């Protein structure tokens, strides 16, 4: 025999499920340079702890990929910041005239 769940508990479970899905909308750590560097460090740690040569190569390769991604994201962020600063400077200069 299957026990029925009262409607109030079902609603609460659905609301809790919505809260969980909102958490998944947060930015993935792999979408930031700092997050990529953190993942690279974790993979290097795992490479040191791995017993097999192939396992080490896999984790070292993954760490290299995360490091390259971190560099790319950092360059993009620096470029965005520089363009924003130049635009703000230009707007400040044109406002003084």
Q: Is the pLDDT of residue 7 over 90?
A: no
| Tens of pLDDT, residues 28-76 | 878 899 999 999 999 999 999 999 999 999 999 999 999 999 999 999 9
Domain assignments of the chain as residue spans, ordered by start: 27-96
Instruction: Tabulate helix, strand, coil % of the chain (nearest 5).
Output: 85, 0, 15
Residue that the structure tokens 């702890």 belong to? 49
pLDDT higher than 90, residue 85: yes
């Amino acid at each position: 025999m299957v026990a029925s769940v009262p409607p109030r508990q079902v609603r609460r479970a659905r609301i809790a499920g919505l809260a969980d899905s909102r958490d998944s909308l947060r930015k993935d750590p792999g979408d930031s340079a700092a997050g990529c560097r953190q993942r690279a460090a974790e993979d290097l740690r795992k490479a040191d702890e791995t017993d097999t040569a192939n396992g080490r190569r896999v984790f070292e390769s993954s760490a290299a990929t995360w490091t390259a991604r971190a560099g790319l994201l950092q360059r993009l962020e620096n470029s965005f910041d520089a363009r924003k600063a130049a635009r703000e400077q230009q707007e400040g200069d044109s406002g003084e005239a």
